[in-house]
Amino acid sequence: MSFESLHSSRKTKEAKSFVQSAPALADVHGPSQEVGAQNPLHTGEDKSCNSVHAPISDAEQLPLQPFQVRESSIAGRGIFATQAHRPGSIITAIKPYVSVMSTPYLAEFCTNCSSPPKESMKLRRCTRCRVVWYCTDKCQTIDWNVHKYECKALRKWEESAPATAKVPSDALRCLGRMFCSFKLHGLDSEWTREIKQMQSHRTSLPPSAYEPYTHLAHSLIRYLGVESPLELEPYGIRSTADLVDFISRFTTNAFTLTSYTLDPIGVAISPVVAAINHSCDPNAVVICDQPHEQEPQINLVAIKPIAPGEEIAISYIDITLPRQVRRKELKETYNFDCKCVLCSTPRYDDPRTAMFCPARCGGLRPVPTEGGGSPSCNKCKAITKNLEGELDALNVGQEALGKATMLQHTDPQKAKQLTSNIIPILNSAGLAPSCHPLLAMARLHQELLIASLPESMTQETLDDTIRTAARYAAGVSAILPVGHPVRGVALAELGKLLAVDEPSPPSNMAGSADRFPPSGSARLKLAHETLVRAREELLIGFGTDNGGGLVGREAREAIVRLEKELGAWTQGINNALEDVKATKTDLPRTC
């Protein structure tokens, strides 16, 4: 089995300013003729509180049948279902108004459709700016109406940028595309009006935001080739306050563009997505689908039953993080205090902060905190006798996670060494697989192991990768609801790994019943069971009508292959037994 579908290089959501060398692929020239803009999806405007839009009148609604926009009792304006939605139903499909690839992915995904190249194709680069890449001439032609402005800005930026920042950051390029689109659509267009109605937090910015906002504003002015904010009037910016408002709208409303395996690959803006409120216990998810030679499509998928009149909520952040970390990130990035059920009623037994009982009775207890004493087991009430050691392990784990995350692309070998050294420490401290930072560390370790498998495939490394994937799948399954796409992808990755041919299976199968992962037919059966479970969840998380997304369709193909292989295996054993039986029958009798 190919590891291309397993190779996962998850990137951080923050904007990048560094350059990754692109492979030497064929180049293409920018189109010489302009292409007319496609009609954007008409949407409503904004909301407040847990939302990212400004208030609107009760009468104003999004002209989309599956839902409407109205005021929420606790979170300002939100989106509410107008009809029932079952888990796995695609509520609506949306095209983002603006999207860009993250710098490390510019040469891996098409700038227009956000898709990786097909198996028989290679991405081709714009020979003018030599920054953006396309999968086909058609995609380049579609994107040219915006890229013609961006292309010039990228070339001018390269002339004056230092060697370490020849490509502008994701945030800067996305802001630049938004300004280019103002020119394309016009300042009085519905497209521009909806972008400008997204929520700005200029008047309530924390002091910590002043420096990054100032840096981004200066960089944007230079990127657009103007001398001061006064020259931005053609874009509808008439003052410094307008410019800060614009940057705040982007910062507050931008969301992560993901690959079909949920790896963050870019940044996108959509007023419809921005209108949806946040919950750490969401009933819907935003999934990016990348059909070739089209603009990237975003599906809003129900993962829980949603009744008519019920608010539709998604998660803005990683909800496997502990409550305090989630609340801090939401406050700093989106400027609101989360009031969802998980945040307003903290659980003593939250799996995100769960440790095993120090007496090994099978119970759980929360992780200790500085100055908070030692929490007791929820079953036998035992407390740890090594409070200081557990606190040290948690602090070391958090610090190592940050270092390994920064190193995973620049020095993956060192990052893998870090994760390999720290995970046993966290396990020894008693952290449950779902506990932070062990869960995040397991995910990163799994990615690093999968990336290195093709070069270092041995039975030991494959089995180690499978065990890591199993721990990660168990961890996310303890936190996320059934059908959440992250659960489905985790199970699919585990199933694919189990289905990989064993490099050197054990010759002696004695005692293999207690071994994990198992070997031989038991391993294939477990792979089949895992992929069947994965596909059931993927059909919910990525949409039933969508076949569970590309991962779900790949899982189905793998299931069919495994069923054939298991059938051949069983038939071979039956044939061998029949041969033995026939041999015994043919033997002459002796007295």
- Ranges 2-16, 220-234, 481-495, most confident: 481-495
CA distance 99 to 151: 15
Residue after which a domain boundary falls, among 314, 338, 371? 314
pLDDT tops 50 at residue 31: no
Dig out the tokens for 488 from the structure: 């489905």
Question: Is 197 a domain residue?
Answer: yes
| Selection from 161-165, 334-338, 580-584 with the highest mean pLDDT | 334-338
Q: Is the pLDDT score of 52 beyond 50?
A: no
Is the model's pTM score more than 0.75? yes
Any domain includes 351: no
Confidence band for 512, pLDDT divided at 50, 70 and 90: low
Q: Closest by alpha carbon to 65, among 234, 300, 237?
A: 300
Domain that holds residue 195: 27-314
Which among 321, 283, 300 has a CA at the least distance from the CA of 479?
Answer: 321
Q: State yes or no: pLDDT of 513 exceeds 70.
A: no
Q: So what's the pLDDT on residue 568?
A: 74
The per-residue DSSP string of 322-354 comes to -HHHHHHHHHHHH-----SHHHHS--TT-GGGE
Query: Among the listed ranges 183-192, 300-309, 396-405, which one has the minimum average pLDDT value?
Result: 183-192
Q: What is the pLDDT of residue 160?
A: 83
Query: The tokens of 336 are what?
Result: 């609101």
Look at residue 406 in the predicted model and tell me its pLDDT. 93
In a domain, 579, yes or no: yes
* Residue 411, domain member (yes or no): no
Binned at pLDDT 50, 70 and 90, residue 29 comes out as very low
Q: Name the token pair of 229.
A: 């904010």
DSSP H or E stretch at residue 182:
helix 170-185
Helix or strand or coil: residue 412? helix
Asked whether residue 176 carries a pLDDT value surpassing 90, the answer given is yes
Instruction: Please check whether residue 17 lies inside any domain of the structure.
Output: no
Name the residue among 565, 13, 546, 541 with its Cα closest to residue 268: 13
DSSP string computed for 288-323: EE--TTS--EEEEEESS-B-TTPEEEE-SS-TTS-H
pLDDT > 90? residue 102:
yes
Q: How buried is residue 290: exposed, middle or buried, by Cβ count under 10 Å (0-12/13-18/19+)? A: buried
Position 49 confidence tier, pLDDT thresholds 50, 70, 90: very low
Please work out, in degrees rounded to the nearest 5, the angle formed at the alpha carbon of residue 271 by the alpha carbons of 265 and 277. Answer: 90
- Residues 244, 203: contact at Cβ < 8 Å? no
Predicted local distance difference test score (pLDDT) of residue 159: 87
Contacts 24+ apart (CB under 8 A), 34-40: 34/144, 34/145, 34/148, 35/141, 35/142, 35/144, 35/145, 36/145, 37/145, 37/184, 37/185, 38/142, 38/295, 40/95, 40/97, 40/185, 40/190, 40/191
Q: Is 86 a member of any domain?
A: yes
Contact of 478 with 433, CB cutoff 8 Å: yes
User: Which tens digits make up the pLDDT trace of 261-296?
Assistant: 898 999 999 998 998 999 999 999 999 876 655 666
Position 575 scores a pLDDT of: 57
Q: Please enumerate in sequence order all residues whose Cβ is within 8 A of that of 486, keeping only pairs 6 or more positions apart, or say none.
A: 262, 320, 476, 480, 541
Q: Are 131 and 340 in contact (CB under 8 A)?
A: no
Using CA atoms, how far residue 16 sits from 67, 101, 253, in Å, is: 35, 11, 18
3-class secondary structure, 381: coil
Mean pLDDT of the region 370-379: 89
User: What average pLDDT score do residues 424-443 get?
Assistant: 97
Whole-number average pLDDT of the chain: 83
CATH classification of the domain holding 273: 2.170.270.10
> Does residue 39 surpass a pLDDT of 80?
no
CA distance 422 to 208: 32
Measured CA to CA, the distance from residue 565 to residue 439 in angstroms comes to 33
CATH of the domain at 527: 1.25.40.10
> Per the domain annotation, does 131 fall within a domain?
yes
pLDDT at 307: 96
Q: Which of 425, 503, 426, 509 is nearest to 464 (CA)?
A: 503
pLDDT at residue 8 in the model: 37
- Output the pLDDT for position 525: 94
Answer yes or no: is pLDDT of 362 > 50. Answer: yes
d(CA 541, CA 535): 10
**Number of domains forming the structure of the chain:** 2
Chain position carrying tokens 């420490």 = 425
Mean pLDDT of 345-353: 89
pLDDT band with cut points at 50, 70 and 90 for residue 480: very high
Q: b or e along 525-534 (b: 16 or more beta carbons within 10 Å of the residue's beta carbon)?
A: ebbbebbbbb
Domain boundary among 314, 347, 370: 314
Tell me: pLDDT of 47 over 50: no
For residue 335, the model assigns a pLDDT of: 84
pLDDT digits (tens, 9 = 90+) for 61-77: 444 468 888 887 666 78
Q: Copy the structure tokens of residue 64.
A: 């989309």
Given 276, 295, 314, the domain boundary residue is 314
Q: Bigger pLDDT: 20 or 326?
A: 326
Residues 209, 186: Cα–Cα separation, whole Å: 30
Q: Give the span between the Cα atoms of 141 and 147, in whole angstroms.
A: 9
Please report the pLDDT score of residue 121 as a whole number.
82
208 within domain boundaries: yes
Determine whether 578 is exposed, middle or buried from the number of CB atoms within 10 Å of its CB (0-12, 13-18, 19+): exposed
Residue type, 222: R
Cα separation of 109 and 94, whole Å?
Answer: 19
pLDDT at residue 332 in the model: 85
Tell me, what's the pLDDT at 345?
84
Torsion of CA 80, 83, 84, 85, to 10 degrees: -70
User: In the predicted model, what is the mean pLDDT of residues 356-361?
Assistant: 94
Q: N- to C-terminal Cα distance for the chain? A: 55
Mean pLDDT across 326-339: 89
DSSP 35-97: -PPPPPPP------TTSSB----TT---S-TTEEEEEETTTEEEEEESS-B-TT-EEEEE--S
Angstrom CA distances, 210 to 129, 203, 241, stand at: 32, 12, 13
Which uninterrupted H or E stretch holds 550? Answer: helix 549-586
206: Cβ contacts below 8 Å, ≥ 6 apart: 332
Q: How far is CA 201 from CA 134, 207, 240, 303, in A?
A: 35, 12, 14, 31
- The proportion of the chain whose per-residue pLDDT surpasses 90, expressed as a percent, equals 58
Residue 301 has pLDDT above 90, yes or no: yes
